[in-house]
Amino acid sequence: MLRRGFQVAGRLSQHRVLPGVPQVLPRLILTSTFGSSTDSLVSRFCLEKTGLKDYALPNASWCPDMLSLYHELQEKTKTDGWVKLPSFKSNRDHIQGLKLPLGLAVPSDERDWRIFTRCIQVEGQGYEYVIFFHPSKKKSICLFQPGPYLEGAPGFAHGGSLAAMMDETFSKTAYLAGQGLLTVSLSIRFKHLIPVGSLAVLNVDVEKIEDQKVYMSCIAQSRDQQTVYAKCSGKEVLSLSPSPRLCPATITHRTNGRKNAEDAVPSRDPAS
């Protein structure tokens, strides 16, 4: 009876969180779904003729700096290997066919699913951004223009909006460069405030890929590179393992204000 009880608990822990027990993320290997090459991932991400609205296209709210730099990068897509990433309202539209493990799967319904950075629909009021990715260099450039709905200090963008934009750029870069999926850690040092309606250029580099993680760094700065808004480092999970010894991350659950589990990954600077 005792053995059967452990077997049942083991099966339940794979599908949902037991009270007071940290959830171990189930294994996810994207190569079995999409193929292992960066080019394959990029081609599947940048779907053509979808009929979906691409929110990463110029509109009347874009400031002159953002518009001109966008056209410069568009020219580089023709000559220098850069790829302009489309941005649909949900990641479900980008990665159709990806089958998440049962522990992470959410049933689809008729709700209006939206990625966080596309939740404000009015042009120019929230997140205006476009990401360009270089497959062989494994780096990205994100042009980000915060709108007035993202205000923190009067006239300036909230630091959280820049953090979200960095995380989103990390996510897309990690997915395309190394099949990364979930953010394990994010460390940001803010330097200067971003004026609402102005351009911040986010330069993201993949520092290394090891131990099932993609290590990245980011510098957010003005177009002329004279003002650094923030520097950020982070890492994303490549694949997820059911074994606690191999699992790169666990989900932290709180009960009565106390942590039941800590991140299984030791703190380290991805740029080191």
Residue 250, number of CB atoms within 10 A of its CB = 17
What are the start-end ranges of the H helices in 58-138?
Answer: 64-79, 91-94
- Interatomic CA distance for residues 224 and 217, integer angstroms: 20
The single-letter code of the amino acid at 184 is V
Nearest to 138 by CA among 180, 97, 186: 180
Six-digit token string for 218: 């980011």
3-state secondary structure (DSSP) of residue 100: coil
Strands, E, within 180-247: which ranges?
Answer: 183-190, 200-210, 213-221, 228-237
91 DSSP assignment: H
Active-site residue set? 167
Contact criterion met (CB below 8 Å) for 135 and 39:
yes
Strands, E, within the chain: which ranges?
Answer: 23-24, 83-85, 127-134, 139-146, 183-190, 200-210, 213-221, 228-237, 250-251, 254-255, 258-259
Q: Which residues contact 254 (CB under 8 A, 6 or more apart)?
A: 260
